[in-house]
């Protein structure tokens, strides 16, 4: 596809300047509507959201390079962050709930412009879904007389809003695929049943992403998930693997629905794990999905068994799911679109690190001796971040080995298995060091209990030590990144 379809000026930075001025004019119009015409703040925010979304969706029509659109996104990430912190530009930011959506919006566009510029139809459709379908969902949910509320995570959603999200996304993908293919002169034909399946698949993924969002995170998750799922569906179709992909989608959906009553995952964790499974299977088939399944099943079983002996929360939310499997999923998705050597080994290293850390925690709970701090080696209470025991260390090794053994069954050569196990164990050690040094510590003002959570007893906890942004979930995420990086440095 030759971009752009229409070039207003030979120098694209002139176009950029006018484009930038146009967005500023829209923001100014929103401020005017709110303060001079007494328009409700939520309405002015939707006004900016839709029109700016439509404008940036049109970038492939007028820009040949993605540098100006990416520059535009970077500028507004900074501007929106500053204005949100200073509580200015209320016509763009003010909502009835706290949200960071105006920051997530340009972040999502920056990623899409960087990664999908050569696939303009995908970029345009995903931005239209965010601009139009997300807005329609909000309107449908707020105007329903008796909305049927549900809560997958922190923000309450409505069945009416989710249905509107699904139907609007379906229409955008169904109509937009052919329309934009014709406009860009794309030489491909999609049979009607496949096109209907494509629209339904992307619409379902977008609706789930919107339903599990919190504080405006749908402005990031919806366009990215929509773009990747759109591409995965079409690529699996052209490669003849679409039936397997759809069978996995239906089968994994059924498994997660059945597993939810067992409280292995929370509602948000179930939705997040389902989407993660689609991304992993869609990019790598069973070779990618099996290690994650092994980790999920064995770790959940250990957690459930441990909770019967020692009362503790065993069901994971979406953030905890992403903390353990997000890094590996990103590696496989990136490798799918931009192949690089060693991706599968790095993926297994990240999963092995997650398994090693989880097994160390679950098995370490049964230790009869008090744990020792990994840095000071002083005895600490059970559950203290950075505390290690001999039994927990054995559990860490076993967890890493379990993923290494899984690698053998999916075709990884034996010479690499020790690397996977070693990377997993090393990642678990790094987790303990970070947990015992930099991890944030909080105090619940209600029950006066020390905790690792930002929220406790239904309210915010007081930060008492460590780096505030490095909570337990961030430590787990860094643990999986460590496992992947160790594989990279060992093998390359």
Most trustworthy range by pLDDT among 141-155, 160-174, 249-263: 160-174
* pLDDT of 465: 84
Place of tokens 């059924």: 254
* Cα–Cα dist 55/69, whole Å: 11
* CA 341 – CA 317 distance, rounded (Å): 32
Q: How far apart are CA 341 and CA 151, in angstroms?
A: 41
- Give the tens place of pLDDT for each residue, 65-81: 999 999 999 999 998 88
Q: For residue range 10-35, list pLDDT tens digits in order.
A: 899 999 999 999 888 887 877 777 66
pLDDT at position 153 is 85
Helices marked H in 212-285:
218-238, 242-259, 267-284
Q: Which runs of E-coded beta strand occur in 426-465? A: 441-443, 450-451, 455-456, 459-460, 462-465
Q: Where are the alpha helices (DSSP H) in 285-413?
A: 286-309, 318-337, 343-364, 390-409
pLDDT at residue 40 in the model:
63
Q: Residue range 57-62: average pLDDT? A: 93
- According to DSSP, the residues that pair with 40 across neighbouring strands are none
Phi-psi region of 437 (alpha: psi -120 to 50; beta: other; left: phi over 0): alpha
Least confident of 97-111, 112-126, 224-238, 395-409: 97-111
pLDDT at 95 over 60: no
Let me know how many helices (H) and strands (E) the chain has, helices first.
Answer: 19, 9
pLDDT digits (tens, 9 = 90+) for 323-355: 999 999 999 999 999 999 999 999 999 999 999
Inter-axis angle of helices 318-337 and 218-238, nearest 10: 40
Write b or e for each residue in 134-163: b if 16 or more Cβ atoms lie within 10 A of its Cβ, otherwise e.
bbbbbbbbeebeebeeeebbebebbebbbb
- Distant-in-sequence, close-in-space partners of 383: CB < 8 Å, separation ≥ 6: none
pLDDT at 390: 94
Q: Give the integer Cα–Cα distance in Å for 408 and 5.
A: 50
Q: What does the alpha-carbon distance between residue 248 and residue 292 come to, in Å, rounded to a whole number?
A: 14
> Taking Cα atoms as reference points, which of 242, 225, 224 lies closest to residue 233?
242
Closest C-alpha to 480, from 374, 377, 346, 284: 346
To the nearest whole percent, how much of the chain has pLDDT over 90?
60
pLDDT of residue 193: 95
Count other Cβ atoms within 10 Å, centred on residue 382: 13
* Residue 188: φ, ψ to 5°: -150, 150
pLDDT digits (tens, 9 = 90+) for 285-322: 999 999 999 998 898 888 776 655 554 555 688 999 99
How would residue 186 be classed by pLDDT, with cut points 50, 70 and 90? confident
Within 10 Å of residue 481's Cβ, how many Cβ atoms?
A: 21
Coarse DSSP helix, strand, coil percentages of the chain, rounded to the nearest 5 percent: 70, 5, 25
Q: Give the DSSP letter of residue 132.
A: I
Residues 429, 393: contact at Cβ < 8 Å?
no
Least-confidence region, from 212-216, 339-343, 465-469, 479-483: 465-469
In what helix (H) or strand (E) does residue 373 lie, and over which residues does it extend? strand 372-373
Give whole-number Cα distances, 416 to 289, 336, 348, 383, 406, in Å. Answer: 19, 21, 10, 33, 12
CB 208 within 8 A of CB 165: no
Instruction: Count CB atoms within 10 A of the CB of residue 477.
Output: 23
Average pLDDT over residues 425-438: 93
Structure token digits, residue 327: 């890094």
- Angle (CA) 149-150-152 rounded to 5° is 155
Residue 180, pLDDT > 60, answer yes
Convert the pLDDT of each residue in 101-151 to its tens digit: 889 999 999 999 999 999 999 999 999 999 999 999 989 988 888 889 998
Q: DSSP letters of 87-127? A: T--HHHH--SS---HHHHHHHHHHHHHHHSTT-HHHHHHHH
Measured CA to CA, the distance from residue 102 to residue 55 in angstroms comes to 15
Are the C-beta atoms of residues 487 and 422 closer than 8 Å to each other? no
- Say how far residue 451 (Cα) sits from the centre of its chain: 25
- For residue 345, give every residue at least 6 positions away whose Cβ sits within 8 Å of its Cβ, in sequence order, or none: 412, 416, 419, 420, 487, 491
Give 41's pLDDT tier (boundaries 50, 70, 90): low
pLDDT tens, 190-199?
999 999 999 9
Average pLDDT on 457-481 reads: 87
What is residue 383's predicted lDDT score, i.e. its pLDDT?
A: 77
What integer pLDDT is reported at residue 232 of this predicted model?
96
What CA–CA distance (Å, rounded) separates 454 from 444? Answer: 9
pLDDT of residue 96: 55
């Amino acid at each position: 596809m030759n971009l752009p379809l229409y070039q207003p000026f030979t120098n694209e930075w002139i176009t950029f300047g006018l484009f930038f001025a146009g967005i500023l004019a829209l923001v100014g119009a929103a401020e005017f509507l709110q303060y001079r015409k007494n328009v409700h703040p939520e309405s002015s925010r939707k006004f900016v959201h839709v029109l700016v979304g439509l404008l940036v969706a049109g970038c492939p029509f007028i820009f040949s390079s993605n540098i100006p659109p990416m520059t535009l996104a970077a500028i507004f990430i900074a501007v929106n962050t500053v204005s949100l912190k200073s509580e200015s530009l209320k016509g763009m930011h003010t909502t009835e709930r706290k949200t960071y959506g105006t920051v997530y919006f340009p972040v999502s566009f920056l990623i899409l412009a960087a990664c999908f510029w050569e696939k303009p139809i995908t970029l345009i459709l995903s931005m239209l879904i965010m601009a139009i379908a997300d807005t329609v969902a909000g309107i449908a949910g707020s105007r329903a007389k008796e909305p049927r509320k549900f809560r997958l995570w922190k923000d309450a959603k409505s069945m009416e809003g989710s249905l509107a999200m699904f139907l609007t996304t379906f229409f955008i993908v169904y109509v937009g695929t052919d329309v934009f293919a014709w406009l860009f002169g794309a030489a491909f034909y999609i049979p009607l049943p496949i096109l209907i399946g494509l629209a339904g698949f992307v619409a379902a993924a977008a609706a789930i992403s919107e339903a599990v969002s919190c504080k405006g995170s749908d402005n990031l998750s919806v366009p990215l998930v929509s773009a990747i799922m759109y591409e995965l569906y079409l690529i699996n179709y052209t490669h003849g693997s679409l039936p397997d992909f759809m069978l996995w989608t239906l089968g994994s959906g059924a498994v997660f629905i059945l597993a939810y009553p067992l409280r292995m995952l929370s509602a948000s964790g179930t939705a997040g794990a389902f989407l993660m499974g689609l991304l992993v299977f869609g990019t790598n088939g069973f070779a990618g999905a099996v290690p994650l399944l092994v980790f999920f099943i064995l770790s959940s079983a250990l957690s459930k068994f441990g909770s019967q002996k020692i009362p503790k929360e065993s069901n994971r939310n979406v953030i905890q799911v992403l903390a353990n499997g997000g890094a590996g999923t990103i590696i496989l998705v990136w490798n799918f679109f931009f192949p690089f050597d060693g991706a599968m080994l790095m993926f297994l290293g990240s999963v092995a690190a997650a398994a090693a850390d989880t097994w160390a925690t679950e098995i370490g709970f049964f230790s009869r001796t008090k744990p020792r701090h990994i840095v000071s080696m002083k005895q600490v209470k059970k559950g203290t971040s950075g505390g290690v025991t001999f039994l927990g260390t054995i559990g860490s090794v076993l967890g890493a080995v379990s993923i290494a053994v899984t690698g053998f069954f999916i075709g990884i050569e034996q010479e690499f298995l020790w690397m996977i196990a070693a990377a997993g164990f090393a990642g678990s050690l790094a987790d303990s060091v970070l947990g015992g040094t930099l991890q944030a510590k909080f105090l619940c003002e209600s029950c006066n209990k020390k905790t690792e959570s930002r929220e406790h007893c239904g309210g915010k906890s007081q930060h008492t030590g460590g780096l505030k942004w490095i909570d337990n979930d961030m430590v787990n995420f860094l643990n999986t990144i460590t496992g992947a990086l160790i594989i990279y440095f060992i093998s390359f």
